[in-house]
Chain A
Amino acid sequence: MNFKILKRSLKSKKTINFILLVFIMLAAMFIAGSVNNLILITGGLNSYFEKAEVGDYVIISCVGGSAENPLEAQVMLEDYLTENEYVDSYTMDHAILTGNSQIKKEDGSDLELNGTVLIMSYNSKQQKYFDEHNKEITNVEDGSIYLPRREFEASDLKIGDKLSFKMSDGTVMKLTVKGMCKDACLGSDMMGTHRFIVSENDMDRLLADGGYLYSRLYSLELNNLEEFKNEYAKQDIPVVFGDAKDTFKIGYIMDMIIAAIFIIASILLVIISVVILRFAIVFTVNEDYKEIGIMKAIGIGDKGIRKLYVMKYMLISVVGALIGFGLSIPFSDALIRSAMRNMVIENGGSNILIQLVICIVVAVVVILFAYLSTSKIKKLTPMDAIRSGNNGERFKRKGLIKLHGSRKETTTFMAFNDVFSELKKYLILLFATMIGVWMVVMPINTINTLRSEKIADWFSVQVSDIVISNEVAFNEVSTNANKQGYYDLMDETEEIIENNGYEVGETYMEIGWQGIKVTFGDKVTKTIVFQGLGTDTSDYVYTKGSAPKYENEIAMTHVVAKRLGVDIGDTVYISIKGEDKPFVITAIYQSMNNNGEGIRVTETVELDYSLVSFCFGVQCDFIDDLTDEEKEKAIDKLEVAMPECQVESFIEFIDRMIGGISDMLVPIKYAMLGIVIVVNILIVVLMQKMFLVRERGEMAMLKSIGFSNGKIISWQTKRIAIVLFLGVVLGTLTGTPFSQLTSGQVFKFMGASKIEFDINYLEVYVIYPLVIFAASVLMCMVTMLSVRKITVNDMNEIE
């Protein structure tokens, strides 16, 4: 008997039941997929580093010398590491630093490089490497090379393509691209140095050539990381770079942003799904009042009735959760692939057991939810139930606005009146639309900010029209250890630009020293020192204090200031050429360079120019105010004039610095928009189908008194449109603060303490909200077309 009633109940309300099933399915899919990703991402990075056997601390020695004749600084470092009590053991590998000046594609064109290229043998002692299928690379044949994913994709390479290495004797060594390699230590998009791996014999050939810059990589196993860091900070051994394993992990922050966006979106979707589930269950139970009344009248007890409804929801939940489980596997895989494309994932991405358990939990929660929602049955008398739960009592007056005396069009009035009379009924749609807008606004704000000049403040650099990176010239200047060399480089660049028909207003450049010792009292740390050549310190943005003016004044990032426990007015000592020189802090600033590391000195200070670690390239402003298109033309022209240089717009330059994350976020923005539109449409269709059931009688009555189908569709659509509009407005107003709370936190974590998003008002406030609004309204209208089937006989179903 119960089975028959159940079967009939499922059949008679198939639309409502189907939509409920869809939401359970989506909830199960989103929760299972998201939790699986959360576990993989949070634990995945650690397990990747463990699997790759990355040491506790990694150092790239200063550049110079050779395998047989190391530099004094390299020998000093090895002696120090051998004697240090906190170092259990260390490995040393030979490496070569190079770039586009020495490596070319087969057709002679440049590779799209993100910084310096480090070439090492595949069997280096430092760590293990993996291919794109997460298999360890245990052999690289002679004549073969593996590249990181970013360079592989950006340079548009295919397996089998050849790369030419320029040898000092004028010959060329050709290596065949075998694939992409995953490199735990230097493989993140944020790293400025990326590693290519070759065979042992090819590495020996490159090392023996003498035309390549030589360096050494050290991987340390420590017994006390903190003590080692303190001890090492006090040393004045020059290195290109050195930091703990965890710092390399932070390089994956951009991968984490993508993952975080998906996780936040998934969590929001889960919340929407749960709220909708509750709405759907309560609504369905309300719809069943008449049935409940009849069952009560014929003597079926509360428990029996409840059992019947719980059975119905149990069936829908189990089927929904099972389908959701099936869908969560490809969903999770798709997410994890984009979030962890630079990492090695255990078990290929999906933990089926976890996903299955989560889907079971979703089903149990829904059943519990249904059980609690059906508790109303106990309170109902057969009469109440037969009267559809309406006993004639009303404690709150409806119809807050009046039609008489109104000039409004009737359907508009009815729509507004319904929304304001029963706002609670529409809160779910309002809430879901608002969250949907957040989900779209968040990546839009992030992308637009990452692509705006505003980001210059976050990196503490000056905005320029173009940036010209000349790696060969930089290497020459740094080898000459001469400050004037940098000015000469800027003058030469300026001359070339002017010879190409563009009048140059200013040229300037940022140079930096890594691992510089800074002391305050008994506290010692190592950080990066920046010096702007051709710039004025007052042109930079500071969060506190005033720009350093004199030689003994500096600005410090809040990250370094916090670590040293200093503030404006304090004097710190910076190690320059082996001497600790005093500097007064006059300003605090924010920077996302190396996760907030940085000290800015004035242009007049003389530092050790033999140890300059990096140069951001020559920045140039044209005298004429060029449009974006004109700038693009200028870049194309200058690229031809300076084939050895990388000529970029400022935005392209910044984008390269942050690993091209904004490009990666674009498909995510569209994916979010797609998910939001689909979810909103589902909610609108679900609600509208429910209203079509509940308000069938009212619609039939309106038809009888002369309202056309179009007018009834207009009434119902306007009602939904009002709610959607309110949701969109609330969502857009709160979307930017939500972006601050979510992706803004990631930027804060990276060192930018004061985040102000670059808001594209047209996109954030008009285009995307309008797309969400229009798609939902359109679907509401399409759903409402079934009003044509309503006849006067349906009036008997009036509430």
Chain B
Amino acid sequence: MVTALKVTDLCKTYITNKRQNNVLKNVNFQIEEGEMVAIMGPSGSGKSTLLYSVSGMDRATAGTVVLGDMEITNLSEKDLAEARLKYMGFIFQQMHMLKNLSVMDNIILPAYEATKDSDERKKIDDNCKKLMHRLEISEIADNDITEVSGGQLQRACICRSLINNPKIIFADEPTGALNRSASDEVMSILNSLNDDGTTMMIVTHDMKVAAKCSKVMYIVDGNIKGELELGKLSASEEGTIKDVKTVVKEREKKINNWLSDMGW
């Protein structure tokens, strides 16, 4: 197994009203290539802070984060931005896009930013069209972002996160703003992408989302309290053939029990 992300003694402290708030306290974990890890925990436990600190969007107070063979905690702001652009993809709860660009232009924006070569840009357009086709949003390519549904927009955001073929995708409550069916659609897309080898780290409070991941990490008070290995989601589990829905339900129950044991 190759390690995609290694986090060592990661700390994050905020000073609010002259008070020190230690949000992350010596966090240690690692994610292997091709893994799909869910980060769960109660509100205020440090889930999102962990995601943003690990991805370099927020500077860690101490500790190291190594993405592949690159230590991102040592990078300058500019190099960090480049690392996010080329090696990371992001999906957020809110479907953040530039309001003056069409859906397709929003998707290709990070890729166009990464290259000025016109031949490369043609390839990016083709790649974007393929991604949109795969995520079934080809018909909204030229639409304004206000002209599409929330589910379509989130799929567009996923396309954008994939446009530069990132090493890892960070997702913060990717289904939080969607209804159940749209949420299921998005998760099946993420599973499919993971099946193709994309590593993912997903912050969620939704058992259904966590149940579709290969590993669950429980964070409380800024510390990873435990990890639950679930393995890749497939219809075949423990030697028996079941339908995926049943498998997910069983995994949900397993996570629920595990979290109860952990004290949540």
Contacts and interface: CB of A to CB of B under 8 A. Distances in A.
B251 interface: no
Interface in B98-128: 98-102, 104-105, 108-110, 112-114, 116, 118, 121, 125, 128
A398 B81 contact: no
Contacts of A799: 99
Contact of A394 (B81, B85, B116, B144): B144
B104 A706 contact: no
B195 interface: no
Contact of A399 (B88, B92, B125, B144): B144
A417 B146 contact: no
Interface stretch (A79-87, A89-97, A407-415, A557-565): A407-415
Given A407-B118, A422-B100, A698-B99, A711 B81 contact: yes
Nearest to B85: A706
Interface stretch (A438-446, A581-589, A759-767, A790-798): A790-798
Which of under 10, 10 to 19, 20 to 34, or 35 or more describes the interface residues of B? Answer: 35 or more
A417 B81 contact: no
Interface in A368-415: 390, 392, 394, 397-399, 402-407, 409-410, 413-414
Nearest to B81: A708
A417 B100 contact: yes
B24 to A, nearest CB: 15
B147 A407 contact: no
Contacts of A397: 144
B152 to A, nearest CB: 13
A394 B109 contact: no
Contacts of B94: 795-796, 798
B86 interface: yes
A706 B81 contact: yes
A703 B102 CA distance: 19
A611 B90 CA distance: 95
A594 interface: no
B250 interface: no
Nearest to A792: B57
Contacts of B109: 403, 410, 705
Contacts of B92: 701, 704, 795
B77 A402 contact: no
Contacts of B99: 398, 698, 799
A70 interface: no
Nearest to A400: B100
B96 interface: yes
A708 B86 contact: no
A708 B96 CA distance: 17
Nearest to B163: A705
B82 interface: yes
Given A398-B99, A404-B104, A795-B92, A707 B113 contact: yes
Contacts of A702: 98
B258 interface: no
A409 B104 CA distance: 17
A792 B52 contact: yes
B237 interface: no
Interface in A424-482: none
Nearest to B102: A399
Interface in A546-596: none
Contacts, number: 110
A110 interface: no
B58 interface: yes
A405 B125 contact: yes
A698 B106 CA distance: 12
A698 B77 contact: no
Interface in A710-754: 710-711
A64 interface: no
Contacts of B78: 708-710
Contacts of B86: 706
B98 A698 contact: yes
A418 interface: yes
Contacts of B96: 697-698, 700-701, 704, 795, 798
A414 B88 CA distance: 22
Nearest to A700: B96
A102 interface: no
A791 B51 CA distance: 13
B47 interface: no
B215 interface: no
Nearest to A710: B78
A403 B101 contact: yes
Contacts of A796: 94
Nearest to B113: A410
Most chain A CB neighbours (cut-off 10 Å) among B94, B98, B108:
B98
A398 B116 contact: no
B76 to A, nearest CB: 9
Contact of A707 (B85, B121, B147): B85
A421 interface: yes
A394 B77 contact: no
A175 to B, nearest CB: 75
A710 B99 CA distance: 21
Nearest to A407: B118
B58 A792 contact: yes
A399 B142 CA distance: 10
Contacts of B81: 703, 706-709, 711
A795 B114 CA distance: 22
A791 B58 contact: yes
Contacts of B178: none
Nearest to B107: A404
A711 B118 CA distance: 20
A728 B100 CA distance: 25
Contacts of A417: 100-101
A399 B110 contact: no
A792 B88 CA distance: 15
Contacts of B110: 705-706
Contacts of A698: 96, 98-99
Nearest to A706: B85
A289 to B, nearest CB: 16
Nearest to A398: B100
A425 to B, nearest CB: 11
28 contacts: A394-B147, A398-B100, A399-B101, A399-B102, A399-B105, A402-B142, A403-B101, A403-B109, A403-B112, A404-B104, A404-B105, A406-B112, A407-B116, A407-B121, A422-B100, A697-B96, A698-B99, A705-B160, A706-B86, A706-B164, A708-B81, A709-B77, A709-B81, A710-B78, A791-B57, A792-B52, A792-B57, A795-B96
Given A406-B121, A414-B101, A701-B97, 7 more contacts: A398-B144, A399-B100, A403-B112, A413-B112, A705-B84, A706-B88, A708-B78
Interface of A: 390, 392, 394, 397-399, 402-407, 409-410, 413-414, 417-418, 421-422, 697-698, 700-711, 788, 791-792, 795-796, 798-799
Ranked nearest first, the 7 interchain pairs of A and B with the lowest CB-CB distance are: A706-B85, A708-B81, A403-B105, A701-B96, A706-B84, A421-B100, A792-B57
